Each structure stands twice: as structure tokens, then as C-alpha cells.
Amino acid sequence: MSLSYFIQQLLNGLSLGGAYALIAIGYTMVYGILRMINFAHGDEFMMAGYFMIYSIAVFPWFISIPIVIAATVVLGVLIERVAYRPLRNAPRMSVMISAIGVSYLLENLANYLFTAMPQSYPQIPILKYVYNFGDISVSRVTILAPVLTIVLTVLLVMLVNKTKLGMAMRACSKDQETAKIMGIRVDNVITMTFVIGCALAAVGSILYFTDRNTVQPYSGSLPGLKCFVAAVIGGIGNIPGAVVGGFIVGICQIAITAAGYSVFSDAFTFVLLFIILLVRPSGLFGEKAVDKV
Amino acid sequence: MKTSKKSIRIIADAVLVALVIGYLALLQSNTTAHSYAITIIERSCIYAVAAVSMNLIIGFTGQFSLGTAGFMCIGAYVTGIFTIPVKMRDQIYYLYGMADCIHDIKLPLIAALALSALLCGLIAAVIGWPVLRLKSDYLAIATLGFSEIVRAIFGWDGLGKITNASYGVSNIPPFANIFECVAICGVCILIMSLLIRSSYGRAFKAVRDDDVAAEAMGINLFRTKQLSFVVSSAFAGVAGGLLAVFMRSAVTSTFTVALTYNILLMVVLGGIGSVSGSIIGAFLVTGSQEWLRFLDKEYVFSDLIPGLSGTVFGSAQVPLLRNGFRMVIFSILLMVVVLFWNHGITGSKELSWARIISIPSVLRERKLRKAEEAKRREQEEAAARALEKEVRGQ
């Protein structure tokens, strides 16, 4: 294995990891506040891919990107309103089944609306521009993905730590009842969480699909599960942790594929999950959870 | 009084079983004419076993495990590998060549299914050790992950001598007749419902309802969860084996996360925590997926409403009906059940003769209660109005 091959694969891994990290943030934020796996998040990310295909057919790319983000946010907020809010006080299992139901619905809806055939993802020339350094050729999106991810994460961490909204989010994730008593509108905070999560998922989808070229109805489900694993690895509820987890999962996947075991590239993520749950169940950066009776 | 009621119930059960056997015999008497009905019934029965096994761990023990498809995959491959005729093996495994140690072993169907159950149970015991200590969501994602790992292992060409890698196992001999399939499924469900009614089953429910209290009562939490997980996984393996025989092949692409979700749909629709509910759910989902096939076809109005042909309206395309619409309807149905009717068809109680007989009286009572409530509300409102009048008058 030559050095240039190694660097090439590392860059691919970082790029994939960046996209995963952005999606993982959505999982970790929702889990932090609602204590539920939003199984539909991966499918929202898939829908964002389709939104891009259809909006770029009409608009230039710099208008399409905001449209895709807005549409994904609307979808996410709608899902929260219809499928999760009525179950706020229901047992956790019902909420989880509802989330699985939404994921099932989105996949079937995409299958119905856009057919099961993989559709080619638009090639935005600005993102696809290829740099050549000796043996290594990298597209701009590959370099942009990790950089953009880190910038967005820093902004998000600042939002959570410095602003009033962030304070409200932290309060809700610690204790929803008390937050409500203190005058925080919990429902609004939850909606904002979904808005942020979906916007990041839309950005992640642009980064992810530009490198992969096609979208199909099931291309969200497995990456979605992997990103949840990334969130668990980083410590659920911890935003920088989710980003680190996303990079770990992305780099591992590329490494396994490069080593010639592409059959195991998906399964290895779950092996990582087993390892982390056995060794450090609260994740790399998570606080130790105490069971309350 | 009590004994006569019991004897009536036994007679009713016997009549039902006789009717079912009679109907199956009718189907079996002309398999070519009834092949479509036979397929639906066999498929429903197999899914019923899978649904009941999932309900055992989710509904009765309260552990949200989503590994069903993984165990079904193991069961399908084990059953497939040991039942394909020895003569055809070299032809099926032409690429990798079948491993010598299993090349000449051919088992009868029952033995192969038992082996699948045993292997799935063993694997469940091993992975249950770390996994069952996790709480609900982590358990769900870990078991889903297990299911994907299983799929990857069976699709790996390193094991091609045993599993035939991504080509899968094909040419599995079919069921001898419909009775074989239905009887095996019936016995599996019977064993699980007997387990649920035993003291073990009561321990499962105690763990589900309140694990702290159950532990305080002397129930070993971990061992109880483990037992439920092992039994559930073993029967999921049997269901997978049966599915492989039904489809006459075992390929990893059958056993995706979507299969688990599909079985979950049956469990939720039928009623979480009810064996009869799961069976009804399995039949209803499988059956209606067939009956609603017309939703997937494209029609013009004159196909559906005779008399319109020739008019402009008659040649217009019926909106919405297109490939994939059926599954959209199904997923909306699942969401409606989860959001508005979360007890499913039977709720957490079992369907019994007494319950069926009591349906009219229950409905009548509910009607009476509603009428009474409306009357009371009216009276209260009238009183409030009178009071208001009085206050204003003063």
C-alpha cells in the first residue's frame, strides 16, 4: 500500500465521516431531549436527497440548497408534530414503534413517489471540482465535508452553551418537568431541536450523496442506523462526541472497504457498537447515567 | 355449571379445529386449483410463528429486541443447508464446493428445524449475555445491529463452502403437503403459549410490568430475560427455516431490517402482549397484502365502474393507484394503529370464546354508559344555567 493510496482513503474516510457526523448530531440532540431513537432521521436524510434532485431541475444550485434545507426542516417538524407529540406521555416502546412506523412510511412513500430505481444525484460543478496533488485526486466536496462539519459543530456548540435557546435545550434534556415549571415552552424547544437536526441532516445529505451519485428509497435506513451508532459511540446527548463518533464510523467503514472486506463494511459499525457498549456503555464522552426508580 | 361451560368450550374448540382441518383437506385435495390460497395460508402461518416469537420478547417480557430477521436468517440457512438433496449439492455449490464435513449430511425437515432452533437458541444465549443488560433503545439498536452482522457473515465468501455466500441456498425441497406446514406452525405456537401460561410466563410479565418489584419478589431478572430471549430466538429460527422451505431458497437479501419491521407491524396490529392477536395480525397483514394488490396496478375509470367506457371520464387514469401504493396504505395503517388505537385488535388479552360471546353485551354496556354520561352532562349543564340565571337575577 502506497502512501498516496493511504492518504486518498483517509480523505475519503474523513469526508464520509463528516457527513455521518452531521446526521449523528440530529440523533444525539433528539435523544438528549426526548430519550428516543428517531428512527425516521435516516429517512429524512434520504428524502433530502430526493428534494435536491427535484429542486435542481428547476433552480440553480445556490437556490436549491436553501430549498432542500427548508423542505427537510418542514418534513422533520411535521413528523414531530404528527407522530411524536401525541405520544409525549406514552410508554417509551410506543414512541419507538411510532418512529419505526414513520421510517417505514417514508421509505414506502419514496418508493411510491420516486420509484425504487436509483436516481442519479445532481453533480454540482462547484462541489465536484477535482484537485490533483501528484497521485492523489480529490474532489472539492471531499475536502469541504470535514471542514464544514467542524465549523457547523463549533457554531452549534456555541449556540447550545451561549444562547438562551441553548440554555433552554440543556434544561429540557436535564429535567423536562422542572424546565416547564421554570417557564420554558418545552414543545417549542423540541421543535427547535428538530429544526436544527433536520437542517444538519440536509447538509449532510448533500455532502453524502454528491460523493455517492445515486439516491434510492432505502439509501437512508442503513446510514441512519450507523449514525445512531456514531452518536452512541460519542456518548449520547453529547454533540462533539457525536461528531467524533461520526468520523470514527466513517473512517472505519472506508478502511474496511479498502482492506477488501466490503461485505463487512456495514456490519463492522455494529461490532464497534457492541464493543463500546461492553467497555464503556455511556460512550466516549458521555456522562455516566444513573438509574432512577 | 362451571363444568358444562368448560365442556362447551372444549366442544367449540374441537369444532373449530375440525373445520380448519376440513378446509385444509379441501385445499389439499386439489393443489393446482387452490395453489394461491395454499400459498397465502402457509405464508401467514409462518409469519404467525415469527410474530408470536417476537411478541414473546417484546410484548410479554417488555424487552424491545429487533433481532428477529437475523435469527430467521440463521434458521433459514441451517434448514436449507441440511435439507437440500445430496445429489444436487455440487450443482448448487458449483462455485465454492460444499465443505466435506457437511456434504453428505441430509436431515429430515423436523430434525433440520430442531437444529436451527438449537443453534439460534445457543447464539441468543451468547449474545444475550451482553445485550440484555441494555435498556430499551440500546437493546433495540444492538439487536438490529446483530441482525445486520448475521446478514454480512452469511453473505461473506470466506464461508462460501458452507453458506454459498451471496448466491444463497436454493432447491430446498418443498413441504410435503399443507398439513405439514400448518401442523409445525401450530405446535410451535402451542409450545410458546404454554410457556407464557406457566410460572415462567408469569415471571416474564412481572419483569415487563415492573422490573424492580419483580427483582424484589425474588425473580432473577437477567435469567428471566435470557430465557425469554433464547426461546423467542429459537422459534424465530424455526420460522426462518419454514420460510426457507416455503420459498425453496435462502438468500440474505430476504432477511433485511424491513422483514423485522413487517413482523413488528403484525405484532402491533394484533395487540402487543397477546398470542391470538399476533396470529390474527399475521393472517390479516399477509392476507390483505395479497387482496390489496389492485392498489399497485394502474387503472382507468372504466375498468372499475362499468358503463363509463367511451366517455372522456372513462379513459382517465384513476389517481394515486400506481406501483407501491399498497405499501403506503400499509404504513399509514400502522401509524393510525400506533397513534389512535394502540391496543391493536385484541389488546393485551387473549381472544377466547367467552370474550367473543361477550362482545354484544360489552357493546351494549358501553352504549348505555355513554347515554348515561350524556344525560348527566345535560343535567349538569341545565343546573349551571339555572344557577347563572339566579345569580344574574339577583
Predicted confidence (pLDDT) per residue in B335-360, tens digit: 888 888 777 777 777 777 777 777 77
Domain contains B14: no
Is B288 a residue whose pLDDT tops 60?
A: yes
pLDDT of residue B176: 85
Domain residues for B113? 39-351
Residue-number span of the structural domain to which A104 is assigned? 19-220
Q: Which of A92, A105, A222 sits opposite B335 (nearest CB)?
A: A105
Pair B58, A93: CB distance under 8 Å: yes
Among the listed residues A291, A189, A66, A168, the one whose alpha carbon sits nearest the alpha carbon of residue B212:
A291
pLDDT class of A292 with cuts at 50, 70, 90: very low
Same domain, B179 and B47: yes
The pLDDT value recorded for residue B313 is 66
- Residue B123: its pLDDT value, please? 95
- Give residue B262's Cα distance to chain centre: 8
| Average pLDDT value for chain B | 86
Please count the structural domains in chain B: 2
Q: Is residue B62 part of a domain?
A: yes
Please check whether residues B238 and B384 belong to one and the same domain: no
Write the residue in A98, A116, A222 that is nearest to B338 by C-beta.
A98
Specify whether B123 is located in the same domain as B231.
yes
B144 and B202 both lie in a single domain:
yes
What pLDDT is recorded for position B229? 95
Residue B362 shares a structural domain with residue B233: no
Which tops the pLDDT comparison, A204 or A136?
A: A204
Question: Could you read off the pLDDT of A21-32 as tens digits, one per residue?
Answer: 999 998 998 888
* Cβ–Cβ < 8 Å for B128, B229: yes
- Let me know whether B266 and B374 are in one domain: no
B331 and B373 in a common domain: no
> Nearest-CA neighbor of A30 among A137, A211, A189, A182?
A189
Q: Please indicate, yes or no, whether residues B368 and B306 belong to a single structural domain of this protein.
A: no
Instruction: Answer yes or no: do B168 and B152 share one domain.
Output: yes
Q: Is B195 found in the same domain as B104?
A: yes
Alpha helices in chain A (DSSP H): 3-34, 41-56, 61-79, 92-114, 125-128, 140-162, 164-174, 176-181, 186-212, 221-234, 239-258, 265-279
By CA distance, what is B335's nearest residue in A? Answer: A101
Compare B117 and B103 and report the one with higher pLDDT.
B117
Least confident segment among A25-34, A51-60, B83-92, B304-313: B304-313
* Beta pairing, strands A136-139 & A130-133: antiparallel
**Interface contact flag, A104 B325, Cβ < 8 Å:** no
Q: What average pLDDT does the segment B185-214 reach?
A: 92
In a domain, A206, yes or no: yes
Which has more pLDDT, A71 or B177? A71
Give the confidence band of B105 by pLDDT, cuts at 50, 70, 90. Answer: confident
> Considering only CB atoms, which chain B residues are within 8 Å of A222?
148, 257
Strand duo A214-215 + A119-120: pairing: antiparallel
Q: What is the ipTM of this complex?
A: 0.85
Residue A32 belongs to a domain: yes
Residues of B with CB below 8 A from A223's CB? none
pLDDT over threshold 80, residue A286:
no
| Alpha carbon B338 to its chain's center | 16
Q: Between B130, B153, B268, which is nearest A97 by CB? A: B268
Q: For residue B320, what is the domain's CATH number?
A: 1.10.3470
Burial B159-174 (b: 16+ CB within 10 A, else e): ebbbbbbebbbbebee
Is there a domain that residue B4 lies in? no
Closest CA to B9 of B333, B312, B355: B355
Are B222 and B340 in the same domain? yes
Tens of pLDDT, residues B235-262: 999 999 999 999 998 998 889 888 998 8
Query: Residue B12 domain-assigned?
Result: no
**Residue B2: per-residue pLDDT:** 56
| Residue A277 scores a pLDDT above 90 | no
Residue B384 reports pLDDT greater than 50: yes
Residue B51 in any domain: the answer is: yes
Give how far A109 is from chain B: nearest CA, Å: 6
How many Å lie between the alpha carbon of A259 and the closest alpha carbon of chain B?
14
Considering the domain boundaries, does residue A279 fall inside one?
no
Note the pTM of the prediction, 2 decimals: 0.86
The answer on pLDDT for A291 being more than 50 is no
Chain B residues with CB under 8 Å of A38 CB are none
Chain A residue numbers touching B320 (CB-CB < 8 A): none
* pLDDT in the model for residue B360: 79
> What are B20's three cell numbers?
380448519
B31 lies in a domain?
Answer: no
Residue whose C-alpha cell reads 419454514 in the numeric block:
B242
- Give how many domains chain A has, as a whole number: 1
pLDDT tens-digit map of A176-220: 888 889 888 989 999 999 999 999 999 999 989 988 888 988 888
Looking at the structure, do residues B233 and B379 belong to the same domain, yes or no?
A: no
Q: Is the pLDDT of residue B234 over 60?
A: yes
